Amino acid sequence: MARYLITSAIPYINGIKHLGNLAGSMLPADVHARFRRLQGHEVLYICATDEHGTPAELAAAEAGVDVRAYCDEQYKIQRDACAGFKLSFDHFGRSSNPPNHKLTQHFGEVLEKHGMIEERVTKQIYSIDDKRFLPDRYVEGTCPNCGFERARGDQCDNCQTLLDPIELINPRSKISGSTNVEPRDTAHLFLKQPLMQDRIREWVDKSTEWPPLARSIAYKWLDEGLIDRSITRDLAWGVKVTKDGKIRAGFENKVYYVWFDAPIEYIASTVEWSEAGGGDWERWWRTDKGAEDVTYVQVMGKDNVAFHTVSFPVTIMGSQEPWKLVDRLKAFNWVTWYGGKFSTSEKRGIFMDQALEILPSDYWRWYLMANAPESSDAAFTLEQFQQTINADLANVFGNFVNRITRFAASKFDSEVPNGGTPGAHEEKLANEFAERLAALTQCHEQMEFRKAAAELRAIWVAGNEYLQVAAPWTALKTDRDAAAVGVRTGLNACAVFAILAQPFIPDAAKIVLDALGVPEANRNWPKPDDKGVWDALPRGHKFTPPDVLFKKIEDEQVAELAVRFGGGGAA
């Protein structure tokens, strides 16, 4: 038995997440957590909302509520949506909660103690009408290079030139549109990342289990050379900057940068879990206090990779304290929606709450994992969704369960039949199963979700192939024992197929296992060489055939959804 600490990138508080966010971080992390638990390992799956930063303040202002009240409300919405998708977090915390303030301040102070911090004065654009400093992206103006009038402070979308907001001609606030803006001096703390450059590179060199995408992004940053990085901002909402436990002089109106405190929330959320009665958090995070045998797995979208392979490790290593670093990192590309990206700000695509109104979570979970954006961006289309669900879940798996349980109910009195001896058909099924189970297990261990789904599907298909040749309905006419073997094998197949389906489609799997009366203790991940799975259900055991597991998605429903969500055209 091993120990797995699993975190998925924490979703930003600003609005409910779309299916692309779900598919690229929380859902695969959940599938992996469920798999590792079924294997009997000790798992801690941690997530949280990322609540600080300018967008949260602006969204609250737009909603006309206090930022804390806004976050309280959004937190509940996101928490409920995650629960609706059956994400099995051990804890779903909040980066605005006290443990994160305390830990972020701790890291800030300990980094300074080790010479990793320098205070500098920089020029930032201040908007007098908005009464706030503006992040580069929130300043708009005319590009000094090409004359484009809506260039952003960080980059011109027209000519791609990287800009400093000070350079913009006729700068204005993107928030209010006000041109009443001016550069002002403001002091900030800079993290001296170059001091950790060599140690980070050595660590990345050793991290051979990361996928190519993650390593190439890390190397790119390292090759260009790490730079001193500002880790504070002029904002009201966030973690206060301290020195010796008190507000740092001159930083009364500043907070830590959201990207400094957000990854620390992985640890802080574990502290929240601990405070809620979960257990000893240090055992998971401190290598001097029991975490040396923990395998730490991080799951995220590709936009997060640099922060997890470079920035956060600089914080950790720079502290010179024995914190756990990531061991295995899984990065995803994007899910696309009819050619474009899913977009929270533009409301493009399907969002988590809407999805749950339309169909049960298992449908989405299966599709998003069977088509996970692992090697490149993956297209989501309603038509593909319909085909995948109807074929894989309704026809292949759902109908398999239905056909054998109903046959057993009508011809064998809803019992697991006794009698008969397994023969060549059963041996062929068992052999193929053993081979595919080994492959499926390996796919899960390596977090190859597409391949895992394909392998699971192939196992289900093998069940249908078996029934076709064993044909207990034919055997029944001449040889009741032969039919009994077919039905018994088929029912046991239902059980083991559902056991293997648990990480992907937990609800449907539970329905099947409950209907067959499989005790919780017998739902663990089987070993490929375990022949006992084909005679695991007690003979003579009564069961109730479950209702149809998956209703097919009809063409009319696809048409309705296409209208509602703008599928096939511009959203």
Partner RNA sequence: GGGCCCGUAGCUCAAUGGUUAGAGCCGGCCGCUCAUAACGGUCUGGUUACAGGUUCGAGUCCUGUCGGGCCUACCA
Q: Interface residues for RNA in 344-403 (CB under 7 A)?
A: 371, 374-379, 381, 384, 387, 391, 393-396, 398-399, 402-403
Minimum CB separation of residue 229 from RNA in Å reads: 5
Q: How many helices (H) and strands (E) does the chain have?
A: 21, 19
Among candidates 435, 563, 45, 455, which has minimal Cα distance to 278? Answer: 45
Q: How far apart are CA 43 and CA 445, in angstroms?
A: 14
Q: Would you give the DSSP letter of residue 8?
A: E
Distance of CA 143 to the CA centre of its chain: 38
Interacting residues with RNA between 402 and 431 (CB under 7 A) = 402-404, 406-407, 410
Minimum CB separation of residue 450 from RNA in Å reads: 6
Q: How far apart are CA 454 and CA 333, in angstroms?
A: 19
Neighbour-count burial of 305, counting CB atoms closer than 10 A to its CB (0-12 exposed, 13-18 middle, 19+ buried) = buried
How far from 377 is each of 338, 489, 501, CA to CA, in Å? 12, 40, 25
Among candidates 13, 36, 21, 550, which has minimal Cα distance to 328? Answer: 36
Instruction: Kindly tell me which of 323 and 334 has the beta carbon lying closer to RNA.
Output: 334
Decide if residue 262 touches RNA (CB under 7 A): yes
> What region, left, alpha or beta, does residue 414 occupy, with left being phi > 0 and alpha being psi -120 to 50 degrees?
left
Give the position of tokens 């904002």: 235
Q: How far apart are CA 375 and CA 459, in angstroms?
A: 24
Total residues at interface with RNA (CB under 7 A): 80
Interacting residues with RNA between 37 and 66 (CB under 7 A) = 50, 52-55
Minimum CB separation of residue 331 from RNA in Å reads: 10
Decide if residue 557 touches RNA (CB under 7 A): no
User: Which one of 31, 217, 443, 500 is in contact with RNA (CB under 7 A)?
Assistant: 217
Minimum CB separation of residue 39 from RNA in Å reads: 24
User: Which one of 31, 549, 561, 565 is in contact with RNA (CB under 7 A)?
Assistant: 549
Paired strand residues for 8: 299
Instruction: Kindly tell me which of 379 and 559 has the beta carbon lying closer to RNA.
Output: 379
Instruction: Kindly tell me which of 38 and 175 has the beta carbon lying closer to RNA.
Output: 175
Q: How far apart are CA 214 and CA 236, in angstroms?
A: 34
Q: Is the CB of residue 420 less than 8 Å from the CB of residue 484?
A: yes
Residues in the chain: 571
User: Which one of 60, 168, 226, 437 is in contact with RNA (CB under 7 A)?
Assistant: 226
- For residues 98 to 117, the per-residue mask of contacts with RNA, x marking binding by CB under 7 A and - elsewhere, is --------------------
Q: Would you give the DSSP letter of residue 330?
A: E
Instruction: Kindly tell me which of 116 and 404 has the beta carbon lying closer to RNA.
Output: 404
Instruction: Kindly tell me which of 11 and 99 has the beta carbon lying closer to RNA.
Output: 11
User: Which one of 76, 113, 184, 220 is in contact with RNA (CB under 7 A)?
Assistant: 220
User: Which one of 295, 446, 464, 557 is in contact with RNA (CB under 7 A)?
Assistant: 464
Q: Is the CB of residue 161 less than 8 Å from the CB of residue 124?
A: no
By DSSP bridging, strand 378-380 and strand 335-337 are parallel
Region from 80-88, 198-206, 427-435, 469-477 binding RNA, contact rule CB under 7 A:
469-477
Q: How far apart are CA 335 and CA 320, in angstroms?
A: 38
Region from 69-77, 129-137, 533-541, 563-571 binding RNA, contact rule CB under 7 A:
129-137
Paired strand residues for 242: 247
Interacting residues with RNA between 273 and 332 (CB under 7 A) = 302-304, 306, 310-311
Instruction: Kindly tell me which of 278 and 409 has the beta carbon lying closer to RNA.
Output: 409
Using alpha carbons only, give the angle 167, 184, 159 rounded to the nearest 5 degrees: 20
Minimum CB separation of residue 309 from RNA in Å reads: 11
Interacting residues with RNA between 174 and 193 (CB under 7 A) = 188, 193
Region from 37-45, 222-230, 280-288, 358-366 binding RNA, contact rule CB under 7 A:
222-230
Region from 173-181, 240-248, 255-263, 414-422 binding RNA, contact rule CB under 7 A:
255-263
Instruction: Kindly tell me which of 255 and 294 has the beta carbon lying closer to RNA.
Output: 255
Instruction: Kindly tell me which of 233 and 286 has the beta carbon lying closer to RNA.
Output: 233
Minimum CB separation of residue 466 from RNA in Å reads: 9
Decide if residue 461 touches RNA (CB under 7 A): yes
Task: Looking at 44-137, list the stretches that DSSP marks H as alpha helix, in order from N- to C-terminal side.
Answer: 54-63, 67-84, 98-113
Q: How far apart are CA 333 and CA 511, in angstroms?
A: 33
Distance of CA 72 to the CA centre of its chain: 22
Minimum CB separation of residue 303 from RNA in Å reads: 4
Q: Supply φ then ψ for residue 321, to 5 degrees.
A: -110, 155
Region from 60-68, 215-223, 324-332, 436-444 binding RNA, contact rule CB under 7 A:
215-223
Name the token pair of 327.
Answer: 């061991």
Interacting residues with RNA between 228 and 247 (CB under 7 A) = 229-230, 233
Q: How far apart are CA 140 and CA 161, in angstroms?
A: 14
Minimum CB separation of residue 282 from RNA in Å reads: 26
Decide if residue 543 touches RNA (CB under 7 A): no
Instruction: Kindly tell me which of 62 and 530 has the beta carbon lying closer to RNA.
Output: 62
